[in-house]
Amino acid sequence: MTKRPKVHPVLRLPPALPGQYEAWVKLLELRQKKIEAEESDPMNYGYEPPSWKLADALFGMPWMETEETTDNRLQTTDRKTQGQRIRDELGIRRPWSILLIMGANRSSKSQYAARTVMKLIRWKSGARAWCFHENERNSIDYQQLYVHHYFPPEWKVKAVKTHKAFMSFSRQNGFPDRNFVLPNDSSCNFRTYEQDIRKSEGGECDIVWCDELVPVDLVNVLKSRIATRAGWMVITFTPVEGYSGTVKKFLDGARMIRDATAYLLPAGGGEMDLARALGVSVEHAAELKAWAEKRGEPVDVWSVPEKLEEIIEKGHGAREPFERVPRIAQCVEEGEGVLWFHGRDNPYGNPAQLVELYRKSGPDKVKERCYGVALKAMEARFPKFREDVHVIEPAAVPKEGTVYFFMDPAGSRNPFMKWFLRTREKTYLYREWPGSYGIPGAPVYEAGPGPGPWAVPDGKHPDGARGPAQKPFGFGLLRLKMEIARLEEWADWLQDVKDQENSKPRKPVADWKIENGAREKPFRRFIDSRAASSPRVENDRPVTLQEDMLRIGLDFELTPGFSINEGVMRINDALDYDPARAMDWMNSPRFYISRECQNTVFSYLTWTGEDGNKGACKDPIDLDCYYWLADLEYMDPKGQWVTSGRAAY
């Protein structure tokens, strides 16, 4: 063998064993053939990181939904497709149609998108693909070049021109007229964000690829373009520009499904773990380094990407002294998600060099360039809040404690109400209104079952936009009282249901009293002091909302003096815990939120306060501020005060 073996990031050189020179040479020849096949036909023979298969499964790409596999780990006879098995492991009900891939430098996000576009239009006859970039030059240099990379070898030799197909490409000018047509009548068209957005109206697509800084308005337009064909949209983004409007649209309120240990981000002043950051053991890293130095070659073969199983399986081991970085998140909008490609995912990107380049640049730069994390220009006000810690299942809320009720009457929108349960050590928010459940007499959101979200992600407003649940239901005070009685299951409400079923005369709602019996009895009720104490003139005398409530049988106290900054400080104190230590009685938050309170969870993940009093997420936060500023206590049922009990709901 005359040629010196190539250094390859995945196909490592076989070890030379004494007395087996011929066998070693055959292995080298086989390795060389694999490298040549990969270079000439990357679609069929190229290396695909586990993160690519994960993205395909999240999308439900057809090649992931045809072959059935048996889950041997569960020893089950149920046969599932690869995509179904992976989504089941992640708790995702159905495939996503839109995926934002947040990628570190050289993490292969653009290569994945180009391969997926090309694979789909070759897989499906008559398919249509649109690829968007910032300008024409970038489209040619990146998108068009990457897509052409996945052409089969015979299409790269010369231009293909038939009665159906037209494929011609040059490195300098890309594809003529910025498009090509395959022999199966599928086509791909390259566009830019500089074009009039109205030119994207009309037409249908099977797949859309938007690279880098795609405007949020264009994303909304393109959603309708893929809807009629049940297509897909992949957005690839390197967070150099930070928290763009489009990133905000997808990430605000998103639920983290999986995260990962960031071995380049030690907590508490520790040291980086470079070996594990690159996916290898310390011993193997030393072995590779010694091998490379002996041969006088660079150490560019360190990275061994995580196995797919390591990404999709949720670990429950002891916490390590490193920060956590995101991997997979479910967006607020159904069918949309976010996937992070880390630098170590792509061994061809020379992650060792990437680490060396940014390891001394500070944690923010490491998060951006090595883990693909976009840093917010305006941080949410609750940095310690984490869904996997502070959000609990409804069944985990204690059955007994002291219940406190808070209400913000609002004005031009629906009121917002909350029920808190106080135990000796903790507080639990177990219900909000409106919530993600049916409300008699209220409109039903298209996604059901309730009136929809209180606030929704918005690329233009830091605190989101008003959701459908804020639009007034037209409920008067008696109707609101009926809702409170329904949720707390007053005896008078239960009797009213029976009277309606038997066509009997109904007792006036104003005469309903919680003292007649109820499943839940709040110890005290509070109402926003600003709205409830503002007088209006009625019959020549001032009247307040607090007095109106008392007349219909709801006794409210006024909330304490309000300071948003002090309230936020109190909430953060209740959320506080040490993430570097194991969770136990001494190291745990004092405030938990039921998963059913989705509007509150979204607010904690989104609210910055930058939109002021008109912020879409402000009302849920205000009520929590009121609660913590009131310094409410647990009332021992064996003491002077009788606590309010609460059964499971």
Distance (Å, whole) CA 639 – CA 160: 88
| Strand spans (E) along 463-558 | 465-466, 524-527, 536-538, 541-543, 557-558
Residue 251 has a pLDDT of: 86
pLDDT higher than 90, residue 383: no
Q: What digits encode the pLDDT tens for the residues 491-509?
A: 999 999 999 999 899 899 9
CB atoms inside a 10 Å sphere around CB 403: 24
The DSSP 8-state label assigned to residue 506 in this structure reads: P
CA-atom Rg of the chain in angstroms:
30
Distance (Å, whole) CA 137 – CA 172: 10
Distance (Å, whole) CA 82 – CA 88: 10
Every domain of the chain with CATH number 3.30.420.280 lies at 387-629
Architecture of the structural domain at 387-629: 2-Layer Sandwich (3.30)
Distance (Å, whole) CA 368 – CA 355: 12
Distance (Å, whole) CA 351 – CA 322: 19
Every domain of the chain with CATH number 3.40.50.300 lies at 50-59+95-377
Range from 152-156, 363-367, 477-481, 584-588 that averages highest in pLDDT: 477-481
CB burial of 612-630 (b: ≥16 within 10 Å; e: otherwise) equals eeebbbbbbbbbbbbbbbb
List of residues 6+ apart from 645 with CB closer than 8 A: 399, 400, 520, 521, 637
Distance (Å, whole) CA 600 – CA 597: 6
List of residues 6+ apart from 559 with CB closer than 8 A: 406, 526, 527, 528, 529, 626, 629, 630
Residue 380 has a pLDDT of: 66
The percentage of residues in the chain with a pLDDT greater than 70, rounded to a whole number, is 85
Task: Tell me if the bond preceding 351 is cis, omega within 30° of 0.
Answer: no
pLDDT higher than 60, residue 327: yes
Question: What dotted CATH number matches 50-59+95-377?
Answer: 3.40.50.300
Under 8 Å between Cβ of 279 and 344 = yes
CB atoms inside a 10 Å sphere around CB 214: 25
Residue 646 has a pLDDT of: 47
Distance (Å, whole) CA 344 – CA 602: 31
Which helix (H) or strand (E) segment holds residue 161: the answer is: strand 160-161
**pLDDT-derived band at 464, boundaries 50, 70, 90:** confident
Under 8 Å between Cβ of 6 and 299 = no
> Whole-model pTM?
0.72
Residue in the block written with tokens 């005896």: 491
Lowest-confidence pick of 33-47, 269-283, 431-445: 269-283
CB burial of 316-354 (b: ≥16 within 10 Å; e: otherwise) equals eeeebebbbbbbbbbbbbeebbbbbbbbbbbbbbbbbeb
Amino acid at site 449? P
Amino acid at site 430? Y
Under 8 Å between Cβ of 371 and 342 = yes
